[in-house]
Structure 1
Amino acid sequence: MRFSFSLLSLAALAAISACDSTRETTSGQPNPTASRTPAAAAPERPGFRKTLTSGSYTYTISTSGPVGQRQLAVRAEQAGQELTTAQDTIAGEVQDAQLARLTTGPGDELLVFVEGIGSGSYGEVRGYWFGGQDWERMEPLPKLAGPAARGYQGQDKFRVQGRELVRTFPIYLPTDANCCPSGGTRIIRYVLPESSLAFRQASVVNEAPVAQ
């Protein structure tokens, strides 16, 4: 009986060892759901680039980097040689850049029109003055206040007209949805006083909505 019990014990141990061996082999198999191909990174949107000339000077405006943290570079050259470059970070996208003659003084004024990201697309103007040696940055446009700010929700458009900077945007009434402003258009004109780098608001006009 002692011999039979030993045989039974050896058989039981062999069975347990076989189970352990099976478990080890199974656990070492690769998990087909564990290895996945990483998602491809979203392609970077191309930046803005424009070249402007004034007399013997050439100005290059360009952006690079990810959307929301674009690096804006404004470069001045003469006869192919770099004179100076101003660099700034912008949160939106450059829509256009223009040389302007907003004063009768010397030098060139360069305006960069930036459109914010998102549904509102709040705009801004980056202004630079170049007198032949280095860039000087203009002050931001005056903050909208009072009647000029009433019904404002972005969607700015900018243009230069004569010696004025013209800003337009749709007017939202209190019950308007984001898609459908119905209050007409506001036109704000800015001037740049002589020997100044700060714009001044000159006029505010509301145009009635166009009849459909």
Structure 2
Amino acid sequence: MKQFKTIFISILLTLSVIACKNKEGKSNTEKSGIDEVSKVEHSIPEEQEIVFQKTLTLQNISFDIKTRGEGSISQLTIQPKGLEIDNRKIAMEVDGQVVDAEIEDLNSDGFPEILIYTVSAGSGSYGNVIGYSVNNGKSISQIYFPELFENKEASMGYMGHDEFAIVETSLVRRFPIYKDGDTNNKPTGGTRQIQYKLKDGEASRLFVINKISEY
């Protein structure tokens, strides 16, 4: 009987030692896991370098415009300030790079519009416009900018290389005209200029071609 008690106590002591070791091992594993997470967090790269930045202000409303990233895709952010209700930051991916931005009250309603000009990557440098219009000083909505190929007269001989500018209350677009057989770096058809006006549409404001001229 005495021998049985001795064996029983020995078994209990052995189990206690095993349990303590398991607990210690688990603690070390958890600590190691925390260290690994910490390493992962510290290995996250810093934000990409800002490649374009411009702050535009008109009628007590301002927009801080930034892009990050180089190549075919860049990250665009627009931070409005001075709106009565919604000053949330807008973020989106852009096909290509932002080359300039302007601000003007294009529809003469007492509140500004911002236009951001982009060009695609590659030899064509196809242009596009990202526009936002202020709604009675409270919020902003995106402006619809039509594809050039929706208008046959405007797009004939078009191969990119756009330039954009606000002239008074119009958006003006210029690009070289290519004839059959022209190489990308040597257009021979002159220059086309398209004038857009901002109009109220059913769902949103939009740009409408007002005049096409060539020289």
TM-score (norm 1): 0.70
Deviates more, 1:175-184 or 1:119-128: 175-184
Q: RMSD of aligned C-alpha atoms? A: 2.1
2-structure distance, mates of 1:142, 1:160: 18
Structure 1 partner of 2:140:
135
**3-state DSSP class of the match of 2:57?**
strand
Q: 187, 190, 200: which is aligned to 1:184?
A: 190
Q: Give the total of aligned pairs.
A: 162
Cα distance in structure 2, aligned partners of 1:170 and 1:66: 26
1:121 is aligned to 2:135: no
Instruction: Give the Cα separation in 2 of the matches to 1:101 and 1:55.
Output: 9
Q: Deviations over 1:14-69 (max 9, x none)?
A: xxxxxxxxxxxxxxxxxxxxxxxxxxxxxx77521001112332210101134222
Q: Distance in 2 between matches of 1:77 and 1:103?
A: 20
- How far the C-alpha of 1:115 sits from its partner, in A, is 1.0
Distance 1:134 1:89 in 2: 21
Aligned twin of 2:88: 84
CA distance 1:76–1:45, shift in 2 (3 Å): closer
Do the aligned residues in 1 keep the contact of 2:101 with 2:116 (CA within 8 Å)? Answer: yes
Deviates more, 1:194-203 or 1:114-123: 194-203
Structure 1 unaligned runs (5+)? 1-43, 208-212
From the superposition, tell whether residues 45 and 178 of structure 1 become closer, same or farther in structure 2 (CA, over 3 Å): farther
Distance 1:65 1:175 in 2: 35
Per the normalisation by structure 2, the TM-score is 0.69
How far the C-alpha of 1:84 sits from its partner, in A, is 2.1
Question: Does residue 167 of structure 2 align to residue 161 of structure 1?
Answer: yes
Cα–Cα, structure 1 residues 83 and 91, in superposed 2: closer, same or farther, change >3 Å?
A: same
Deviation at 1:143, TM superposition (A): 2.9
Match of 2:156 in 1: 150
2:3 alignment partner in structure 1: none
Give the match's secondary structure for 2:141: strand
Q: Is the 8 A contact 2:59 2:112 kept in 1?
A: no
Q: Deviations over 1:107-128 (max 9, x none)?
A: 2100000011100000000000
Q: Which runs of 5+ in 2 are unaligned?
A: 1-47
Percentage of pairs with the same residue = 32
Q: What is the aligned partner in structure 1 of residue 206 from structure 2?
A: 198
Change (3 A) 1:202 1:142: farther
Which structure has the highest helix share of the two?
2
**Does the CA contact (< 8 Å) of 2:73 and 2:95 recur in 1?**
yes
Compare 153-162 and 143-152 and name the one that shifted more.
143-152
Q: Which of structure 1's runs of 4+ aligned residues deviate more than 4 A? A: none
Distance in 1, matches of 2:87 and 2:60, equals 12
Residue identity in the other structure for 2:113: E
Partner of 1:16: none
Which amino acid in 2 is paired with 1:110? Answer: I
Shift of 1:71: 1.2
* Structure 1 residue aligned with 2:112: 108
Per-residue CA distance 1:139-195 (angstroms, 9 max, x = gap): 123433322111100000000111110000000110111110011000011001257
